[in-house]
């Protein structure tokens, strides 16, 4: 016999799944589908990275997430990938990085992350798609770029000046720019992966909302909305 509380929980899970799967009316068709595809490919590369490295110093976040990444199945990966923002960051909140890449060397040295998280052969192929996707949103849908990528307004302006060939060349020469979003928040990642793996809808929603809060804080801190 099914208990009333179990029925209520199942109803909440169904409602949540439907709500998370709805596309906001202002988004063009396909934007979220492409976002989910990028997220899934990025998670696959994180898993590949976890399988090939055991050093906690070279990839601290991957090392901490390794136990979860190694057991995350296809359904769990797709639950994570369906989150309403891009899980990989290439410095969207840092306009100076993109100015540097255009030749405006306002600071000495290359503006790059301290660690290369994706030292696997497939990283360049993913970088091409991530850079092109972000370039397309910056040029055609600034609101989506801010909400889905955490992109500062000034970054969107700079990205819009690139040509398709230039953004592709940038991706091929700077795949090391790709980093997991919130690399200093392992608990956020653990909650997201664990909830997705176990199919705990309400817990997954809380993790996704926490991610949105961190994303908004990152953009606000840039002072370049």
Residues 6+ apart with CB under 8 A from 16: 201, 202, 204, 205
Residue 89: the pLDDT is 93
DSSP state of 177: G
Task: Give me 143's structure tokens.
Answer: 């609101």
How many C-beta atoms surround the C-beta of residue 109 within 10 A? Answer: 7
Task: Give me 157's structure tokens.
Answer: 């302006």
Each domain of the chain, given as residue ranges in start order, spans 30-220
Residue 217: the pLDDT is 76
Sign of CA dihedral 195, 58, 159, 131: negative
Residue 78: the pLDDT is 94
Per-residue pLDDT tens digits of the chain, which is 225 residues long: 445 565 665 554 455 444 434 455 566 668 889 999 999 999 999 998 888 866 655 678 888 999 999 999 999 999 999 998 999 999 998 998 998 887 754 454 455 554 566 776 788 999 999 999 999 999 999 888 988 998 989 999 999 999 999 999 999 988 889 989 988 889 999 999 999 999 988 999 999 888 888 887 776 665 544
Task: Of 158, 167, 141, 148, give the one whose Cα is nearest residue 219.
Answer: 148
Distance CA 174, CA 168 (A): 10
Helix (H, G, I), strand (E, B) or coil at 73: coil
Helix (H, G, I), strand (E, B) or coil at 71: coil
Task: Answer for the pair 95, 154: CB distance below 8 angstroms, yes or no.
Answer: yes
């Amino acid at each position: 016999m099914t208990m009333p509380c179990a029925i209520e929980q199942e109803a909440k899970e169904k409602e949540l799944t439907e709500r998370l799967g709805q596309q906001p009316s202002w988004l063009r068709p396909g934007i979220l589908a492409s976002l989910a595809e990028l997220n899934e490919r990025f998670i696959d590369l994180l898993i590949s990275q976890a399988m090939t490295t055991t050093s906690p110093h070279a990839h601290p976040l991957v090392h901490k997430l390794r136990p979860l990444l190694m057991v995350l199945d296809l359904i769990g990966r797709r639950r994570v990938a369906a989150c309403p923002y891009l899980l990989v960051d290439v410095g969207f909140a840092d306009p100076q990085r993109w100015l540097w890449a255009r030749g405006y060397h306002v600071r000495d040295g290359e503006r790059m992350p301290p660690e290369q998280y994706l030292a696997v052969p497939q990283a360049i192929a993913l970088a091409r798609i991530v850079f092109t996707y972000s370039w397309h949103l910056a040029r055609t849908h600034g609101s989506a770029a801010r909400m889905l990528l955490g992109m500062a307004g000034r970054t969107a302006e700079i990205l819009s000046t690139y040509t398709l060939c230039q953004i592709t060349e940038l991706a091929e020469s700077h795949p090391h720019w790709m980093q997991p979003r919130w690399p200093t928040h392992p608990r956020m990642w653990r909650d997201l992966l664990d909830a997705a793996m176990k199919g705990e809808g309400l817990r997954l929603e809380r993790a996704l909302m926490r991610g949105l809060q961190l994303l908004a804080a990152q953009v606000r801190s840039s002072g370049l909305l």
